[in-house]
Structure 1
Amino acid sequence: MRKPGKKSPVNTMTSKLSIYFASIAVVVGATLFVFSQAMLYWLEDELNSRTLQNSAGTAIVQFKHGASSPLIITTTIRAYNRIEDLPNKYLALTQYPLGFLDEIHDGGFEDLFLYRTEYTHEGKRFPLLLIMNAEHVELSPTEWRNINLISLVVMLVLFLLFGFAIIKVTRRLITPVTQLSQQLKSTDPNAHFSVPRDSATEFNELADSLNSYRQQNEKLIRQEQAFARYASHELRTPLTVIRGATWLLKQKTDPEYQSRQRERIAKAATDMQHTIEALLSLVKQEQAKEDAGLRVITRAEIEHIIEYVHPLADSKGLTITLNMQCEPKIQPSESVLRMLLINLLNNAINASESGVIVIDVAHDQIKVTDHGSGLNESEQSTKGHGLGLLIIDALCQRYDWQFTLSPAAHTGCIATLEFNQ
């Protein structure tokens, strides 16, 4: 079994990245320093060697015109065309071959540059030795120390600037992650995911997605809770009626009385069947929804639904009017439409004390208008409309319908179900 790796908080990434890039910067800086020093030494020797080599032509011309050895070309360069003219301390230079051009470090004399060659004059060969004192043409130890010190200071400044830039960049990358992690751990249900304004676009998109997912989860949780409460209420009511009617059947043997009880049982069983079918439609597979064909809403179907809520409307002295402009085609079954309209009508009846409730059926929508107290705060908010209306929301989403609540012209509320043909 694979063991999980060692976990470390994202906050430590800033220090880890700083150490990592600091190590790289030190290695690169040291490499560049050594390379620059070597290049300076090489460049210094190369320039002096070329200067000495170019001075050979001047020395040959002057010797051919009768100049005597040693010939002073510059304050630092001397030319010899006879071995016997060399000072005793330079006699060891004769051992170097013709064409030698380089700096010599010898314990017997100071550092110098030597160029040994020869030239021909009047048929005779003459040796030519050009000697340059290195101490007068090379940088002094003090100058080298100053150059090294300046190089180190420049590299240190660049190292600090580089480190500061790395810390700023890593913090800009890590701060949004840290902030989102803390917000995810928060137990506040109203917490809002956010990142600093200067964060990368992807972090802002991630925060927006998390906010969207949280809202969707909260909505689904409310719908699930509403589903459980609604199912419990809607299923217990007919069961209570069935149990009560069954008990009453045992009390009297009068045929008319028993017929009424049987009708109550049959009606309660039918109501339970419609409720179960409508609630199960919420959890059916999407393929089932796609395969369902269109059906026509008839006036008789709407009137049958109105009859179900008539006792409640009569108890409050309300009148329910149906305006059937046409018979539209819809996808939901009779059970689903029944649950939708019964919930809307019950809400309209409960919100009204008198007046008329109007049902308008058009080719693309169904409206239920009441003259009650209007929308309350929970119905106006974006968090839902209450128990029954949450079920309506879920059913409308199931069939791609649009459900809206809006205030009526004077008083009351208009509930609209919009559907696509």
Structure 2
Amino acid sequence: MLRPPRSLRYRIVLWLLAFATALTVAVIAQGTVVVEYVERAAWKSLLTAELDHFIQRSREIPGYQWDGTDGLSLYGGTDDAQLPPPLRGLGAGLHDDVLIGRTNHVVLVRDIDGIRYTLAMDIEAFESEETGYELLTVLASFALLLAIGVAAVFGVGRLLHPLSRLARDIGTMDPGDQPGRIKVEPGAGTELVVIADAFNDYLGRNARFVERERDFINTASHELRTPVAVINGAAELGLREPQVAAHQLHRIQRSAREMEQLMVLLLALAKDPARLVSSSEPLALDALLPRIVEDHQHLTAGKSLQLRLAPPARCDVQAPAAIARAAIGNLLRNAIEHSDSGCIDIELHEDATVVIRDPGHGMSPEQISAVYGLLARNDGGVGDTGEPGIGLELIARLCEHFGWRLELQSRGDRGTTAMLKFSN
């Protein structure tokens, strides 16, 4: 069974306590070594001074005797009958923590004038005090670690509070709601600001992705319904009346071609704009425009309508050919569908602007405002304004993707002028 993951607060506090413990142990160890060194130096200096004093007095005063200072015992020669057994066999130098009976002694052994002198000092009282100080140091260390632990728990908790609030705000966000922004508390660290900015950027990119997906679904369900219905109706009529099958097959072919162009537009809208721009290629609009007009001539059948293309100016742009063809074709089809008779003028200017003037019913100011609103918001609102906005909705979204500009001018009862300017 997997152990649940530890919280960041727990791990930070644990590492702080581990660091404080290691630092305390190191300080105590260093203090112990220093105290031991100083202690031995002090003992050696004291005992050496006492022994030098005795030797000097012995040389100055023949027969001088050790006066037996409290805590100090002097023995001359290795055959001294009073020399305690623990001191026999000790080499020259200082010897600490030598137990004589039940009492700790520090012993200095020196060879002077062929005689080995042994000076022992009782340090039991000092050792007791030293043990007490060591115990006090250990208790103080534990108290310090406890204080550090309490301070770490509350301090780290306070330090991580903005992070916990940030995580709580992220956790309460609903993917179905409009994307908001994550805000950090005043005085928050730069790391939290970086995290919040990065997450807000992700929210914006994700919102645009969701919007493109929603637009694709809504537009696809709406736009594909008409050509599919035409194909189904033509197929059923062709099956019932074989004598008109050829005509219906042509209708099916045209509807399939329109669906193909429509799918190009819809798939373009579903992709990231940066990827679309990177897939652009040099495109000669003056060569493309006549083919588009020719492909849409069949839509004028049954109408007293003429497509008139002015000699196009030489113009090259950077754009995906299939998408540019579909965009211009969608504008032209929209003009044909809403015109009954007259002449539709198509022009290409040197600044990469395609102009289509139709003699149709015109667009109301509300419909034109809706198209411009879509260009500003990209919220799909044009579809609610009536049929003239359906094709224009796709063009408006493509303009938002590629940085193109669509302008509409209603001429009242004399029709509408659509201008699509490509980015050179």
Q: Scaled by the length of structure 1, what TM-score is found?
A: 0.65
Could you tell me which residue of structure 2 aligns to residue 381 of structure 1?
Answer: 377
CA distance in 2, matches of 1:301, 1:28: 75
Distance 1:48 1:233, change over 3 A: same
How many residue pairs get matched? 380
Paired with 1:142 and 1:310, the residues of 2 have a C-alpha distance of: 113
Which of the residues 412, 417, 420 maps onto 1:417? 420
**Equivalents in 2 of 1:419, 1:403: separation in Å?**
5
Alignment match, 2:61: none
Runs of 4+ in 1 over 6 A off after TM superposition: 241-250, 261-264, 284-287, 289-293, 309-314, 319-323, 394-397, 409-414
Aligned amino acid, residue 49 of structure 2: T
Contact 1:320–1:359 (8 Å) recurs in 2: yes
Residues 322-372 of structure 1 show CA distances to partners (whole Å, capped at 9, x for unaligned) of 76662646734997356322355379x69xxxxx99755213121457774
Gap change, CA 1:53 and 1:271, over 3 Å in 2 = same
Name the CA distance, whole Å, in 2 between partners of 1:334 and 1:266. 27
Q: Which amino acid aligns with 1:156?
A: L
Percent of pairs identical after alignment?
10
User: Hey, what's the Cα distance between the residues in 2 that align with 1:302 and 1:52?
Assistant: 112
CA contact (8 A) 1:357 1:371 kept: no
**Mapping of residues 72-221 of structure 1, within 5 Å:** 78=72, 80=74, 82=76, 91-92=84-85, 94-99=87-92, 101-104=94-97, 106=99, 108=101, 110-120=103-113, 125=115, 127-136=117-126, 139-140=129-130, 142-164=132-154, 166-167=156-157, 176-177=166-167, 179-183=169-173, 186-192=174-180, 194=182, 196=184, 198=188, 199=192, 201-202=194-195, 204-221=197-214
Contact 1:79 1:131 in 2 (8 A): yes
The answer to whether the Cα contact below 8 Å between 1:193 and 1:207 also exists between their aligned partners in 2 is: yes
- Paired position in structure 2 for 1:339: 329
**Equivalences for 1:229-308 in 2 at 5 Å?**
229-237=222-230, 268=251, 271-282=254-265, 294=284, 296-297=287-288, 302=293, 305=296, 308=299
Deviates more, 1:364-373 or 1:296-305: 296-305
Is the 2:375–2:397 contact (alpha carbons within 8 Å) kept by the matching residues of 1? no
Number of the residue aligned with 1:222: 215
2:53 corresponds in structure 1 to 62
Name the SS for the 1:65 alignment partner. Answer: helix
- Report the Cα offset of residue 226 of structure 1: 0.9
CA deviation map 1:370-405 (0-9, x unaligned) = 7741312556423234342343357679xx854434
Distance 1:38 1:413 in 2: 92
CA distance in 1, matches of 2:6, 2:165: 11
Q: 1:139 is paired with a residue of what secondary structure?
A: helix
TM-score normalised per structure 2: 0.64
CA distance in structure 2 between the partners assigned to 1:358 and 1:271 by the alignment: 23
Q: What is the deviation of 1:131?
A: 1.9
Contact 2:283-2:316 at 8 Å conserved across structures: no
Conserved? CA contact 2:410–2:417, under 8 Å: no
Q: For the residues of structure 2 that align with 1:41 and 1:329, how far apart are their CA atoms?
A: 86
Structure 1 partner of 2:395: 392
Name the amino acid aligned to 1:209: Y
The answer to whether the 8 Å contact 2:408/2:419 transfers is: no
1:51 is aligned, of 42, 46, 52, to 42
Q: CA RMSD in A?
A: 5.3
Task: Determine helix, strand or coil for the equivalent of 1:417.
Answer: strand
What amino acid maps onto 1:151 in structure 2? Answer: S
**Is the CA contact 1:70–1:78 (under 8 Å) kept in the aligned structure 2?**
no
In 2, Cα distance between the equivalents of 1:13 and 1:142? 40
Could you tell me whether the CA contact under 8 Å between 1:99 and 1:117 is conserved in 2? yes
Query: 2:210, 2:2 → 1: CA distance?
Result: 32
- CA-to-aligned-CA distance 1:224-262 (integer Å, 9 cap, x gap): 331232121244357658878999999xxxxxxxxxx99
Unaligned runs of 5+ in 2: 59-63, 384-389
- Provide the C-alpha distance between the structure 1 equivalents of 2:416 and 2:150, rounded to a whole number of angstroms: 68
User: 1:212 Cα shift?
Assistant: 0.7
Decide whether aligned partners of structure 1 residues 142 and 298 sit closer, same or farther in structure 2, where only a CA change above 3 A counts. Answer: closer
Q: Structure 1: any 5+ residue segments left out of the alignment?
A: 251-260, 351-355
- 1:319-330 alignment to 2 at 5 Å? 326=313, 328=315
Which whole-Å CA distance do the structure 2 matches of 1:297 and 1:413 have between them? 23
- Using the TM superposition, give the Cα deviation of residue 216 of structure 1 relative to its aligned residue in structure 2, in angstroms: 1.5
